[in-house]
A and B are shown apart, each in its own frame.
Chain A
Amino acid sequence: MIAPILQYIDVVKSYGEGELQTRALTDVSLTINAGEFIAIMGPSGCGKSTLLHLAGGLEDATAGRVLVNGADISTMSGAEKAKLRRQEVGYIFQKLNLIPSLTAIENVMLPLELDRVSKSEARERARVVISDLGLTHNLNRYPSEFSGGQQQRIAIARSLVANRSLLLADEPTGALDTVNADEIIEILAQLPKKYNTSVVLVTHEPRFASWADRVVFLRDGRIISETQSSAVVEG
């Protein structure tokens, strides 16, 4: 039996209080297994990003439990959540993924350095991962000197460098052209097989969702359906 890497159990997430309270997620239960590639789709404001934020402890659930590798995030301290993001859960966002004052390789090295890995080892491991993703030259340049696609590859490399088991990608292709977007999705799709990393991809694009093993549809904070990706393409 494959162990679940991420589990949402009856999760509720609300913002605000009293009459102004807004439900972002309502009774969401979802299990993602190790090495699985899941796509989450739905209209704007349906709670897709919130679902990802809860998985890395960026936000806390109002009710229910979120388990990463069996550990309940709601019981974790701030430092433990940070450690979780450093070692288990990686994020890729649509934009502003890289720290502009650090070079490409320094951005990738950063999680390792924060984990007190030696500088030389961090540099070597970063170089290997970046190379795997097809970037080999000019790694000492700053993010602004790279194209959007290259910047996302660097961000993916940073997520992979610490051997994280879960990668959460929040519309990573939103700011990219078609060619670059396809390349990024292809890279993400290869990660489960290549690194045994589970990937959760939030996207509006059925075309990208078709790369996933499963597609979860959200509406108004609830999971309304869960299908195999082929169904999305056919649909």
Chain B
Amino acid sequence: MSLASRIAVREVRKRKGRTALVAVLVALPLVAILMMSTYLKTTNLSSEQQFAREFGTATASFDGFGYLPSDKQTMIREVITRNLGDNVGMETYTSWWRPLLLDSTSVNEQKRGKYIRIEERTSDPQIRKSVVSLIGGHWATRSNEVAISESLAKTWKLKVGENLTLEMPRLSLKVVGLVRTHYQLKDNVIFSSANSGLEVANIRTNASLLVQSDTPITAQKLHEITQVEQKILASDGDLEALIAGARLPGSNLAVALPAVSWLAVLTVIAFAVMSIVISAAFATSARRQLTTVGQLSANGASASLIQRALALQGAWSGLVGILLATVVTVVLLTFSRSQMESLAGYSIPALRLPTTEYVLASVIAIFASVGAAWLPSRTAAQTSVLNALAGRRGEAPVRRSLLPAGLLLFGSGVGLEFLVALGVQNSEGQSSPFLVAGSIGGLLILAGVCCMGPVIVSLFHFIGEKSSGEGRLMARGLSRNRSRSSAVVVSIATFTGLGIAVAMGASSREVLYDNSYIPRNVVEVSSSKCSETYGGLPFECTPRRADGEFEDAVKKVLQANGNVKQVSLDYAVANGVDPDFFASDFGKVEGELLTENILIANPTILEILQMSKRDLKEFNDVGIVFAIDPELKRIYDPTNVQGDFNTLSVPLAQGIFQYPMHQLQDDAQSWGRWRILMTEKRAKEGGFTIFKDSARLFIGEKNLSESQLVQLSFLRSIAAESQPVVYDDQGALPRPGTDFAYSDVMPPISQNSVHAFIAGSLLVLVLLIVAIGLSLMASEGKDERDILLAIGAAPTTMSKLAGLRALWLSAVGIAIAIPVAVIPMVVVLKAGADPGTDPVDVPWSLFALLGGVPLVAYIAARTTSAIVQIVRPIHVSNAQFE
């Protein structure tokens, strides 16, 4: 072993605290990356594996819609046997989805209503043995028995032998079996026999015929079989049992490995950031090794040898970190298989270890660690012999080139991100080059901040001049230990900047625009009576009230959230509309908005709509409003942005009749279902026919819960059952009849919640970094602490000093982060935005929350210091006095 390496090993062994810190800092990202790699590799199934996961040992799957009548099943089996020989296994299974509502108070309201997959199964599957297996009880053999999936058993708190009592539909079934659905562990499935009462006539069912054959099935053969099958099925016009397609193992495209390239980029970025903190540890330690450096110099060691000895400590510490990461990863992998299965959602046969990623990430970790040690080693190696022997460190002034270099790197990074944003917008799916370029841009920005960090930290010197006592000690100390302070500040700035960037990306108005097609606490119950003239489109429908039982049912569903307001709706329909217009283009002809059902405004509607004052005034003046606010118009129907919404055109037989119309200028709680709102007065003036009390609006006190959505969906399916289903070659036709309108889109997470989450995460990270920084300062600052103790600094002075350091380090880090994140994000968002839109949403609430982080850091550091002094009173270190 070379002298430099031997010295490095000794120092690594001697400085156990620093070695442990560096090892942990190396191991943390490495463990995270190895765990992620293992998970991605394990769950990144080939198309064959995916096929096997879903279909077991099948070699082909024929998928269809609707029930496969037994006579046709026999015919299809004959076709398959004819094509593939006698030695063919076949298995049919039928399933469908439907909402069910549990009649139980032991399960909370949110979990009572669920969409459940129902599968008809009364015996063990042969081909899907590895996909669905009974783990308790037996399969349902009677119509009142069911076996249920583990997930459903957990959700509805059911055990074998208990009754499954449903409120919707009103049904009681006995749970006789527990099933593990290996292909999708979280599937809520009920396995029933035929005629269990869970069937719904008008709900689409999926029928699959699985084939297991020793003879390889080619795509050509599959196609031939499918053609014959379709002929059989279509022979008597039974379009309900159309064969939708057939699949072979490997017919799906295998999932590529984009996640792995993301991981490589993530690894580089993670270690780049972590190396800043590691560098602080080595900078502190280099100061404490000055005597060793002095001894080496005095005995003729060259500067390069000294630097090697210092930098190699990074390599050895990095190796310890890799070893630690390996051990931790092995332990975690041993115990985390069920968590991985839970995350993946299906049974994992075996973990696939990421050998290549392990080697790659370890090499990057070593590079990062050596780099982090090498930077401070340059200054230490150049210290004069006498200064080094005396433990005095030369503190060179900040290099003038650092600021321009930092700005140049930062600018280059921002420029590259701008080009990447432009490229992504104009690309056609090729993401890898942009990913790499974007990452390089990010690293350039990081490098720029690293260069500017010492310059910014050196400004503490001037703060020291303006302050006194603890404030001056803090400022001068931070300024003097520039390398360490700037490492802490840059680390905080990097993490905070990432948080701000994420917040800005997530809070783009498109993502967080909280306005659904219909308000989330409102259900509209309507019906319509249509002509039966299917041949001549369109239907001539007139609005009318739905049956009272549906209205009552909806009201009951909403009453779970408190009082329900009920409003009667009146519709206006133009007289003498030319049906040919709607036949050609129902929505819009050459930029003109055509009539459909027009809602007559009433006070409740206006209250819900929440128009701005100026929009309301215009509406009252004009009498007709296009009631979709600018944002909803942009999001839900961007093609309409250029339309003329200032005119309502009514295509009458005698020609197009036009009315002036107001379009909303400001955001409102608009309502996609009612695009046009008219005053009753205007409707009468315009000669529209008014259908009084055509629909009912039910307004709940709170937004609809998932359980309520299930109940409404159930009611809707009941309503649908009473309507005739009509098919043509395009599929199912729209059905006239009772319908419910409600928003089943979950509201976006509020911006404030996103910001609070980010601020909370950043607080933890900042406290962690500050804690590491203060620990390093404490280890280095023993001399200063002894002097302070000797001149009478009280324990409160010591804790206040710790608090002030935490406050300023975090405050400066956060202050740097804001421009560093906002500038690139503004550039990127603007470059990638549609023309004429403003995608930038400055996260002011996040900034406000971040403003509290330094205060928390101050209190935490001060309190911790005070507690530590009580537990372990500070004593003067021996080095000072003996």
Produce 1/0 per residue, A75-99, CB < 8 A to B. Answer: 0001100111111011101001111
Contact B469 A113 (CB under 8 A): yes
Docked Cα-Cα span, A4 to B787, in Å, equals 27
- Choose the segment among A29-37, A66-74, A102-110, A182-190 that binds chain B (4+ C-beta atoms closer than 8 Å): A102-110
Contact A114 B787 (CB under 8 A): no
Produce 1/0 per residue, B790-817, CB < 8 A to A. Answer: 1111111100000000000000000000
Contact A59 B876 (CB under 8 A): yes
Residues on the B chain within 8 Å of A56, using CB: 790
Contact A114/B793 with A49-B881, A58-B876 known, Cβ cut-off 8 Å? yes
Q: How many residues of chain A have a CB within 8 Å of chain B?
A: 37
Produce 1/0 per residue, A154-166, CB < 8 A to B. Answer: 0000110000000
Contact B792 A85 (CB under 8 A): yes
Residues on the A chain within 8 Å of B875, using CB: 58-59
Partner of A100, one of B464, B480, B791, B880: B480
Residue B212 CB within 8 A of the other chain: no
Contact B472 A102 (CB under 8 A): yes
Residues on the B chain within 8 Å of A119, using CB: 468
Contact A93/B869 with A101-B479, A119-B468, A170-B881 known, Cβ cut-off 8 Å? no
Contact A113 B472 (CB under 8 A): yes
Contact A111 B791 (CB under 8 A): yes
Residue A53 CB within 8 A of the other chain: yes
Residues on the B chain within 8 Å of A58, using CB: 789-790, 875-876
Contact B468 A96 (CB under 8 A): no
Contact A99 B468 (CB under 8 A): no
Residues on the A chain within 8 Å of B793, using CB: 82, 86, 114
Interface centre among B479, B480, B793, B881 (most CB of A within 10 A): B881
Residue B477 CB within 8 A of the other chain: yes
Contact B790 A93 (CB under 8 A): yes
Q: Which of A104-159 contact B (CB under 8 A)?
A: 106, 109-111, 113-114, 116, 119, 122, 144, 158-159
Report the nearest A residue to B783, measured CB to CB.
A96
Report the nearest A residue to B869, measured CB to CB.
A78
Contact A49 B882 (CB under 8 A): yes
Distance (whole angstroms) from the CB of B800 to the closest CB of chain A: 10
Report the nearest B residue to A77, measured CB to CB.
B795
Residues on the A chain within 8 Å of B464, using CB: 101-102
Contact A99 B784 (CB under 8 A): yes
Q: How many residues of chain B have a CB within 8 Å of chain A?
A: 32
Produce 1/0 per residue, B765-802, CB < 8 A to A. Answer: 00000000000000000011011111111111100000
Distance (whole angstroms) from the CB of B869 to the closest CB of chain A: 7
Distance (whole angstroms) from the CB of B688 to the closest CB of chain A: 82
Contact A78 B792 (CB under 8 A): no
Report the nearest B residue to A91, measured CB to CB.
B790
Docked Cα-Cα span, A145 to B875, in Å, equals 29
Interface centre among A49, A86, A102 (most CB of B within 10 A): A102
Residues on the B chain within 8 Å of A84, using CB: 792
Partner of B469, one of A89, A97, A114: A114
Residues on the A chain within 8 Å of B881, using CB: 49, 53, 93, 170
Produce 1/0 per residue, B682-719, CB < 8 A to A. Answer: 00000000000000000000000000000000000000
Partner of B473, one of A83, A93, A98, A102: A102
Distance (whole angstroms) from the CB of B255 to the closest CB of chain A: 57
Residue B548 CB within 8 A of the other chain: no
Produce 1/0 per residue, B860-882, CB < 8 A to A. Answer: 00000000010001011000111
Distance (whole angstroms) from the CB of B543 to the closest CB of chain A: 80
Residue B476 CB within 8 A of the other chain: yes
Distance (whole angstroms) from the CB of B105 to the closest CB of chain A: 60
Contact B784 A82 (CB under 8 A): no
Residues on the A chain within 8 Å of B477, using CB: 101
Residues on the B chain within 8 Å of A101, using CB: 464, 473, 476-477, 479-480, 784
Report the nearest B residue to A87, measured CB to CB.
B792
Residues on the A chain within 8 Å of B392, using CB: 144
Distance (whole angstroms) from the CB of A49 to the closest CB of chain B: 5
Contact A85/B790 with A49-B881, A53-B881 known, Cβ cut-off 8 Å? yes
Distance (whole angstroms) from the CB of B478 to the closest CB of chain A: 9
Contact B468 A97 (CB under 8 A): no
Interface centre among B464, B783, B787 (most CB of A within 10 A): B787
Docked Cα-Cα span, A22 to B476, in Å, equals 40
Contact A113/B880 with A87-B792, A97-B787, A99-B784 known, Cβ cut-off 8 Å? no
Docked Cα-Cα span, A99 to B472, in Å, equals 11
Residues on the B chain within 8 Å of A49, using CB: 881-882
Contact B876 A79 (CB under 8 A): no
Distance (whole angstroms) from the CB of B849 to the closest CB of chain A: 33
Docked Cα-Cα span, A93 to B783, in Å, equals 12
Residues on the A chain within 8 Å of B469, using CB: 110, 113-114, 116
Contact A111 B792 (CB under 8 A): yes
Contact A98/B792 with A49-B882, A113-B472 known, Cβ cut-off 8 Å? no
Report the nearest B residue to A80, measured CB to CB.
B794
Produce 1/0 per residue, A178-219, CB < 8 A to B. Answer: 000000000000000000000000000000000000000000
Interface centre among A79, A100, A111 (most CB of B within 10 A): A100
Produce 1/0 per residue, B465-505, CB < 8 A to A. Answer: 00011101100110110000000000000000000000000
Residues on the B chain within 8 Å of A102, using CB: 464, 472-473, 476
Distance (whole angstroms) from the CB of A227 to the closest CB of chain B: 26
Interface centre among B392, B784, B790, B797 (most CB of A within 10 A): B790
Residues on the A chain within 8 Å of B784, using CB: 99-101
Contact B787 A83 (CB under 8 A): no
Residues on the A chain within 8 Å of B796, using CB: 79
Docked Cα-Cα span, A86 to B790, in Å, equals 8
Distance (whole angstroms) from the CB of B20 to the closest CB of chain A: 27
Residues on the A chain within 8 Å of B480, using CB: 100-101
Partner of B792, one of A82, A99, A100: A82
Partner of B797, one of A82, A93, A97, A144: A82
Contact B795 A78 (CB under 8 A): yes
Docked Cα-Cα span, A85 to B881, in Å, equals 16
Docked Cα-Cα span, A82 to B797, in Å, equals 10
Residues on the A chain within 8 Å of B787, using CB: 96-99
Residues on the B chain within 8 Å of A90, using CB: 791
Contact A93/B880 with A102-B473, A113-B472, A119-B468 known, Cβ cut-off 8 Å? yes
Contact A83/B795 with A96-B880, A170-B881 known, Cβ cut-off 8 Å? no
Distance (whole angstroms) from the CB of B825 to the closest CB of chain A: 37
Residues on the A chain within 8 Å of B792, using CB: 82-87, 89, 111, 114
Distance (whole angstroms) from the CB of A102 to the closest CB of chain B: 6
Produce 1/0 per residue, B303-323, CB < 8 A to A. Answer: 000000000000000000000
Contact A114 B794 (CB under 8 A): yes
Report the nearest A residue to B795, measured CB to CB.
A78
Residues on the A chain within 8 Å of B479, using CB: 101
Report the nearest B residue to A161, measured CB to CB.
B791
Distance (whole angstroms) from the CB of A165 to the closest CB of chain B: 13
Contact B869 A86 (CB under 8 A): no
Residues on the A chain within 8 Å of B476, using CB: 99, 101-102, 106
Docked Cα-Cα span, A220 to B795, in Å, equals 33
Docked Cα-Cα span, A20 to B792, in Å, equals 32
Residues on the B chain within 8 Å of A170, using CB: 881
Top 5 A-B pairs, shortest CB-CB distance: A86-B792, A85-B792, A101-B476, A82-B794, A113-B469
**A→B interface (CB under 8 Å):** 49, 53, 56, 58-59, 78-79, 82-87, 89-91, 93, 96-102, 106, 109-111, 113-114, 116, 119, 122, 144, 158-159, 170
Known: A82-B797, A86-B793, A102-B464. 6 other contacts (CB 8 A): A59-B875, A79-B794, A96-B880, A97-B787, A101-B480, A102-B473
30 A-B interface contacts by CB (under 8 A): A49-B882, A58-B875, A78-B869, A79-B795, A82-B792, A82-B795, A82-B797, A84-B792, A85-B791, A86-B794, A93-B790, A93-B880, A96-B787, A97-B787, A98-B787, A99-B476, A100-B480, A101-B473, A101-B477, A101-B479, A101-B784, A102-B472, A109-B468, A111-B791, A113-B468, A114-B470, A119-B468, A122-B468, A144-B392, A159-B791
